[in-house]
Structure 1
């Protein structure tokens, strides 16, 4: 009896230790379907008439979480979830907080690029623009990172009032090397003042502040993305904004899910998690799922029943495809 009691004394701590080890986080993540969010209600434009469509356009997201040993087993047993190494979601050496900041910046850039593409089709942009220089993206590791963000408007540089992006670029280049450059920037409806000093932060390039500028938009476009991050909603924002600013209904009365990055040229790029986004589209009851042509094979291989896949390579092709499927009446 004493022998069994002695064994139990060791067994209880061993079970507790095993349980604790099973709950320790591992360097792997579960990736699964996220949500499908209707985009048009999240967009507001000042200065142009809006046309509220009858159909619905959705962006699609993924969700991910870090796994313990127990969570790893559960994720393996669930066909809706994939297990991926940390390197697929994070840049080398990137912390979770840094990933959140990068993801927000990518989302902000996707909104700027989407608006620029659409307004170039419907509002004479960039020839027509308001004063100021619009920040399209910021180079990580450069002086502008942390001070400027996509969507900010530079209104003054080194005491020079900025009428367009050329004014801003000339003022930045004309400042004395290694001298702080005063900036006045409109960000989130407020004016901010700060200084930046050019630095050699891009290999092979002269000292820069690390920002890409485009002409300010001719009208205020506000897109409420909430906590959603990453660049993959760019095409959805563009189609939603285009639908809002043009007569008719691009979705043709249907539910249309959309994913894909977009650049200033209107090119649509591939995204991660296409299988999970296809499941999110199906769960939302989408009739169509507009996907980057580069991701079509993977989307088909996912074998998700429900929405018809519509592959596209450009914004204009996406518009034409939806119009060809009954949209824009």
Structure 2
């Protein structure tokens, strides 16, 4: 009998361990990631940046929580628990990953635009069409259009923005058939389906979530290949790497320089998430300078969260907490970045 109970007890312990290690929870753990040298990703005029020192993009690591890792996270500094709903909203994992890929590509395009314009090098923006971010369950195009496809024409008409596309569809009626030309895995396809009523409205639509899809063409060739890194937060550092290569590499002067922040086509640096964890990653990689978005704290921010602190403030506190000598530099624009490095 004792052996029988010992066997049951052993199986129970094994089951608990399996649950503890492998049962997925509806939470994600965000921890310090890595500081990646940008010369691995960027080539300008067919050449990689081989000068002394390095520019680095910084990442956070994201993993789905299990019971044991969830408990472990409560004991670890710079580890944040994020609910799946807060991270992804209503999007599926596939849609979320696709969105992160789009945001990364968009940030690269904006970085190229800002770097080339500031360097006085020729560039042109080419509008490709409407990028499909998701397809609604009631869409008649659901079996045809896929996440990541690019719609290039509606009824033979081309457009220069997503808003033009939306305005054209608005003028049609629910149930009316339209012919969509789209790019799927580098193949041009067409399909004709009826429009549906968009949820919560009386307006007709294809039943897709869409954004503009464009690319930048340059006289001096530039290539940015980032693998499976997603999101828009490396925009500022991509801009710096590309610009410095275009202008002869005079800014870095052998230093290890990291940072984060989105970049729009006007050269403005935008706030991002997880900056404290990115400071930790940069410090561990030996960076001596870290560029942090100095986003303004508005009344609306304080009303929504009385304890809100902007990226620069959080980054400074993180560096102090780990006793790092890394210099946290506040920036609002790409000009701030260049002017600081020129000093």
Give the TM interval when normalised to the shorter protein: 0.7 to 0.9
**CA drift at 1:319:** 1.6
Q: After TM superposition, list the pairs within 5 Å mapping 1:233-272 onto structure 2.
A: 233-272=234-273
Could you say which residue in structure 1 is the equivalent of 2:326? Answer: 307
CA 1:179–1:83 in 2, change beyond 3 Å: closer, same or farther? closer
**CA drift at 1:224:** 0.7
**CA drift at 1:212:** 2.3
CA 1:139–1:316 in 2, change beyond 3 Å: closer, same or farther? farther
Structure 1-normalised TM-score?
0.76
**1:159-203 Cα deviation digits (max 9, x unpaired):** 78x8x948x969x959x9542143579x8xxx5312377877698
Could you say which residue in structure 2 is the equivalent of 1:122? Answer: 119
Whether contact under 8 Å (1:268, 1:312) holds in the other structure is: yes
**1:224-248 Cα deviation digits (max 9, x unpaired):** 1111111111111111111111124
2:67 to 60, 66, 69: 69
Verify: 1:89 aligned to 2:105, yes or no: no
Aligned length in residues: 305
State the alpha-carbon separation in 1 of the partners of residues 235 and 191 from structure 2: 29
Whether contact under 8 Å (2:135, 2:147) holds in the other structure is: no
State the alpha-carbon separation in 1 of the partners of residues 218 and 168 from structure 2: 26
Q: After TM superposition, list the pairs within 5 Å mapping 1:1-329 onto structure 2.
A: 4-5=2-3, 7-8=5-6, 10-23=8-21, 24-46=23-45, 53-92=51-90, 94-123=91-120, 129=124, 132-134=126-128, 140-141=134-135, 146-148=147-149, 165=160, 173=168, 177=172, 178-182=177-181, 192-195=187-190, 207=205, 210-212=210-212, 216-219=216-219, 220-294=221-295, 295-302=311-318, 303-304=321-322, 305-324=324-343
**CA drift at 1:44:** 2.7
**CA drift at 1:81:** 2.9
Could you say which residue in structure 1 is the equivalent of 2:305? Answer: none
State the alpha-carbon separation in 1 of the partners of residues 6 and 341 from structure 2: 68
CA 1:102–1:122 in 2, change beyond 3 Å: closer, same or farther? same
State the alpha-carbon separation in 1 of the partners of residues 130 and 226 from structure 2: 17
State the alpha-carbon separation in 2 of the partners of residues 202 and 216 from structure 1: 34
Could you say which residue in structure 2 is the equivalent of 1:327? Answer: none
State the alpha-carbon separation in 1 of the partners of residues 278 and 56 from structure 2: 11
**CA drift at 1:268:** 1.2
State the alpha-carbon separation in 1 of the partners of residues 76 and 31 from structure 2: 10
Q: Structure 2 unaligned segments of length 5 or more: list them.
A: 296-310
Structure 2-normalised TM-score?
0.73
CA 1:245–1:20 in 2, change beyond 3 Å: closer, same or farther? same
State the alpha-carbon separation in 1 of the partners of residues 241 and 199 from structure 2: 35
